[in-house]
Amino acid sequence: MIIRSFEPRDLPRLIELTIETFGPFYEDSFRPLVGETVFTRQHGQWREDYRTLLATLHAPEHHKYVAVADLDGETVGYVGCEVDPAREHGTISILAVDAHRRRDHLATELCEHAFSHMRAHGAVYAEIGTGGDEFHAPARALYESLGCTKLPLAVYYREL
């Protein structure tokens, strides 16, 4: 496997990979949890939101970077990160790995790649977030295995 910098030709595959990765969360977890009213207003356009977001993730002139994992010519994952040089702060903004490759340590390699990249661009600490629900349990386990400290946080929704 090689990890390389994003190229514009990668965008369609990254969109597809993102929708495949996070679709089960939005449709099978978040929607039933919060109900149709909240879901529709909060994330009802989640596919389009990702299409819009992914087009802006790689902007080195704004300290935003995407690294892509290629395995035998197939894009099997990616990580997006950004650095705030003034605060010496890095953030992993998104991470997605093909479902068929999830137990191959690709996410670990992508995170470590992003941490190295952020360090090389002036960050002295990094932030990465995920959900507290069952869908995100593997992500929490990954981040804890990478030495990240979990910050207790609660977010509530209520239909009015």
33: Cα separation from own chain's centroid: 21
What is the model's pLDDT at position 92?
98
Per-domain boundaries in the chain: 2-145
pLDDT over 90 (residue 9):
yes
What is the model's pLDDT at position 145?
96
In whole angstroms, give the CA distance from residue 21 to residue 136: 11
Average pLDDT over residues 119-144: 95
Output the pTM of the full model: 0.93
What is the model's pLDDT at position 59?
97
What is the model's pLDDT at position 103?
85
Closest to 27 in 3D by CA, of 16, 36, 37, 14: 36
Strands of the chain (E only): list them: 2-5, 64-71, 74-84, 89-97, 125-128
Please provide the distance, in angstroms rounded to a whole number, between the alpha carbons at the two ends of the chain: 49
Closest to 1 in 3D by CA, of 97, 81, 91: 97
What residues contact residue 35 under an 8 Å CB cut-off, 6+ apart? 159
What is the model's pLDDT at position 158?
83
Radius of gyration of the chain (CA): 16
Name the fold adopted by 2-145: Aminopeptidase (3.40.630)
What is the model's pLDDT at position 152?
87
Q: For 51-83, what is each residue's pLDDT tens digit?
A: 999 999 999 999 999 999 999 999 999 999 999
What is the model's pLDDT at position 159?
84
Tokens of 142: 């990954």
Q: For 90-131, what is each residue's pLDDT tens digit?
A: 999 999 999 999 888 999 999 999 999 999 999 999 999 999
Q: For 16-26, what is each residue's pLDDT tens digit?
A: 999 999 999 99
- Residue 153: band (very low, low, confident or very high) from pLDDT cuts 50, 70, 90: confident
